[in-house]
């Protein structure tokens, strides 16, 4: 019988989060898979993420984006 059980390791012992359907003294095989902790709190907004990147660019970056991305000279006659 295969059971998937989440457990917490205290440094010495694995403590199952739910009771096991086993008799005392039953031999088992354990395969350990580390589970990433759930992120706590609200997810960051796009603006918060963008600000945290601390990007630097020229003051005219948004106006001349194509020139910076593609190296194109932009004339006012386009």
Domain ranges of the chain: 1-35
Banded pLDDT at 69 (limits 50, 70, 90): confident
Query: For 46-59, what is each residue's pLDDT tens digit?
Result: 888 888 887 787 88
Distance of CA 50 to the CA centre of its chain: 16
Q: Write down the pLDDT at residue 56.
A: 80
Residues in Cβ contact with 16 at an 8 Å cutoff, skipping those fewer than 6 apart: 5, 6, 7
| Helix, strand, coil content of the chain in percent (nearest 5) | 15, 10, 75
- 25 vs 62 pLDDT, higher one: 25
Q: Say if pTM beats, i.e. exceeds, 0.75.
A: no
Banded pLDDT at 2 (limits 50, 70, 90): confident
């Amino acid at each position: 019988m295969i059971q998937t059980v989440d457990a917490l390791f205290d440094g010495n012992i694995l403590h199952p989060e739910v009771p096991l359907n086993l008799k005392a003294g039953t031999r088992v095989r354990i395969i350990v898979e580390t589970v990433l902790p759930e992120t706590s709190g609200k997810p960051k907004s796009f603006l918060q993420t963008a600000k945290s990147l601390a990007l630097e660019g020229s003051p005219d970056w948004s106006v001349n984006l194509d020139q910076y991305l593609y190296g194109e000279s932009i004339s006012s006659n386009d």
